[in-house]
Every structure is written in structure tokens, then in C-alpha cells.
Structure 1
Amino acid sequence: MTRPAPSAPRVSRARERILLTADRLFYEEGIHAVGIQRIVAESQVTRVTLYKHFPSKDALISAYLDRRADHDHRQVDGIIDAHRDAPRRALDELATVLTRDDFGATQRGCPFINASAEFTGSHPARVHAREIRRWVTERLEELLRQVEHADPRRTAEQLMMLRTGAIVSGALDANGHLTDDFLDCWNMLVEAGLSRRAEARTA
């Protein structure tokens, strides 16, 4: 007799409400400014229920940033997978998606930078920020290596710095040309390395 396949674990609706509420409040108002009682009230759960899923505020902060990181992982990996045989196209698409999604959705700045700015040392917020930024930078470096860029490591880090600066500019500056300026700088960094590689081959 064949045993039925195990069912997927049930998603706790209370946990999802808590996490969605924390995500909204932490991003819009800041982590220190939002207390546990506020999250309990707005997610319509008891303190016992909240602490059942998140034993401490730091655990909730980690879950909030994990959720944000999961979105970034799916977004970046999805683009790379869609252009598996066209890394240059993947680089272009990553830049375009950043302007379409991030600039509009991060009007209060990067959630990882904002969170890490509220803490010091080895707090989970700073660890998460370093991890996701390093991961994105490594994905960019891999694509640059695939297109035989002259300096993939350095340029990947520069692209990440450019993205960070653009998100901050989008949150603080009234720059009506932000998207065009960002795409121009992104392409110049990529193309400069491709040109140097081509020159080295013909020298």
C-alpha cells in the first residue's frame, strides 16, 4: 500500500500577520520607534502568540530582514535564470528592474541600510545587511566574469555602490532624471571593462 505524500506544513496566519505588520512598521517608522505592543495590537494577536513565533524582538527583526532578503534572492536569481545564456542581457535587466522596482518601492531608503544604521557591532540587522549586499555583489561579479569584464570584482562593488547611492538619492533628492542617470552610470561601468578587455586582445 502506497503511503500518501506528506502534506506541506501549515502556514500560521498569525505569524504572517505579525511579520507583515512588523515589515510595514519597521520600514516606515524605524525599528527602535516600534515597540512589541504596537505590533501585537496592529497584527491582532496576543503577546503570547507573538512570542511563540518570535521569542525576542531581535528574532522578529531577523525574520523581517530574512523576508526582505528572500524577495531580493528571488528577484535576482529569476533574472539570471531567465538570461542564463546571455549574461550581458542579465546585467541590463538587473539595472532596469532596480529602477522599476526599487526606486519606487524604497522611498524611505534601503531597508537593510536603514536597519543596520540603528544598531552597532554584530547585531543581526548589520549581519543581514552585510550578507545580502555581499550576495548581490557576488552575483554581479559572476555575470561580469561571464562577459569577460576586465575587472569584475572591482566593478561589481562599484555597481553595488552606485545602486546604494541611487536608492538614497531616490529617497532624499528631487532628481527627475534619477533613472536615466543611474542607467547611464551602470552601463558606463560595464562597458568600460569590456572595452579594456577588447583593447588588450588587439594590443
Structure 2
Amino acid sequence: MSATATERPSQAKERILQTAERLFYDEGIHAVGIQRIIAEASVTRVTLYRHFASKDDLVAAYLDRKAAYDHAQVDGIIDAHPDDPRAALAEIGSALTRDDFGAVRRGCPFINASAEFVGTHPARVKAREIRQWVTGRIEGLLQRLDHRDPRGTAEQLMMVRTGAVVSGALDANDHLTEDYLRCWAMLIDGGLPQSA
């Protein structure tokens, strides 16, 4: 009996998060009210607030799930290439073209959420945290390659990545993948030590 009691809240919480994820991404956070999430997740108001004390807490949980995916993806790529940081960097760039250009038809969820708020709102904090984390992982790979400017290049690679996601959502560039990957590689290779 106690197992069923603990199962129900976790199932309800998962439904709430899945519903919020879909609606927040497709329609925007401000556009989606708590009552809509309650109705579409088939939960009561009490159940929602038992799991999430406020809408801001739900927004933070939504972005934490997105960040967890990014953490797993980037760390998985790095772990798959333990002795080849250049291959890991190439794969991090390529992963965006396979997963995100199709999956983020409305742009990056962190950028979208961040654009709806100002200051220290959880959406902006979470966006900053994941971007800094990914940038740091890229910088670490560049350092392992003795790159001339690992910090600056990691920041530039994130700018290119961001621009590519925005372009994928807004532009009709039939060569987006090719253009993005060429730029990604040029930034990396341009600062590598010249082989003797």
C-alpha cells in the first residue's frame, strides 16, 4: 500500500513536468497558466502545489530537466573520447545538428525562457548556469589540445552554437549544418599548435 502511495505522487509529478515542458516550450512560459497545466496533466491544484510551491519552481524544474539532458549528452561525448579531445569537440558540434536543429524548432528552451524574464529570475539563472557549464567543458577540451585561446574560443563556439540554433528556428538556410560545422571546426583548428 505504501508503495502505491509513493508511486502516485511521482507519476503525477512526472505528468506535471511533461505537460509543463511541452506547453512552456511550444507556447511560452508567460502564456501558460497553472490552471492549464493542472487540466492537461490531469492533476489537482493541491497535487501540483505539493510538488511545486510556485510557478517559478515549476519553471526551474523544467529547465533543470533540460540541463540534465545537456549534462548527460556532453559528458557522454567526452567520456566516449577519453584520449581524443579534438574528436570530442567535433562530436559536441555534430550532436547539435542531429538532435537540436530538429528538436528545437522554436529555438533554444533556455534562451526562450530567459528572454521572458529579467534579473535573477530562475529562468535566467538556469540559462546562465547551463551555458557556463557547457562553455567550461569546451574550454577544458581546448586546453587539453594546447589551444592558443581556450577561454575565448570556448565563448566563441557557444556564440556560434547559439546563432546556429536561432538560425535553425528562424532562417531558411538549406546549408545550415554545413555552414555551422565549418565555422565550428575553423574556430577550433585556427588556434591549435602547428604540427612540426
**Which range, TM-score by smaller chain?**
over 0.9
Counterpart of 2:179?
181
Letter in 2 for 1:95: G
Cα deviation 1:70-106 (Å, max 9, x = unaligned): 0000000000001011111000111111110011100
User: TM-score normalised to the size of structure 2?
Assistant: 0.95
Which of 36, 39, 42 in structure 1 is aligned with 2:37?
39
Letter in 1 for 2:95: V
Structure with higher Rg: it is 1
Counterpart of 2:56?
58
Q: How does 1:98-113 map to 2 (within 5 A)?
A: 98-113=96-111
The reply to whether residue 153 of structure 1 matches residue 171 of structure 2 is no
Cα deviation 1:41-78 (Å, max 9, x = unaligned): 00000000000000100000000000000000000000
Counterpart of 1:120?
118
Mapped partners of 1:65, 1:127: distance in 2:
10
Question: Number of residues paired by the alignment?
Answer: 190
Secondary structure at the aligned position of 2:43 is classed as coil
Counterpart of 1:5?
none
Mapped partners of 2:158, 2:141: distance in 1:
13
Counterpart of 2:82?
84
The reply to whether residue 130 of structure 1 matches residue 109 of structure 2 is no
* Deviant stretches of 4+, over 2 Å: none
Secondary structure at the aligned position of 1:137 is classed as helix
Secondary structure at the aligned position of 1:33 is classed as coil
Mapped partners of 1:49, 1:173: distance in 2:
41
Counterpart of 1:143?
141
Mapped partners of 1:135, 1:84: distance in 2:
19
Secondary structure at the aligned position of 1:12 is classed as helix
Letter in 1 for 2:87: R
Mapped partners of 2:118, 2:45: distance in 1:
27
Mapped partners of 2:168, 2:96: distance in 1:
12
**Structure 1 stretches lacking a partner, 5+ long:** 1-8
1:198 CA drift (Å): 2.1
Aligned residues: percent identity?
70
Mapped partners of 1:32, 1:119: distance in 2:
9
Counterpart of 1:16?
14
User: TM-score normalised to the size of structure 1?
Assistant: 0.91
1:125 CA drift (Å): 0.3
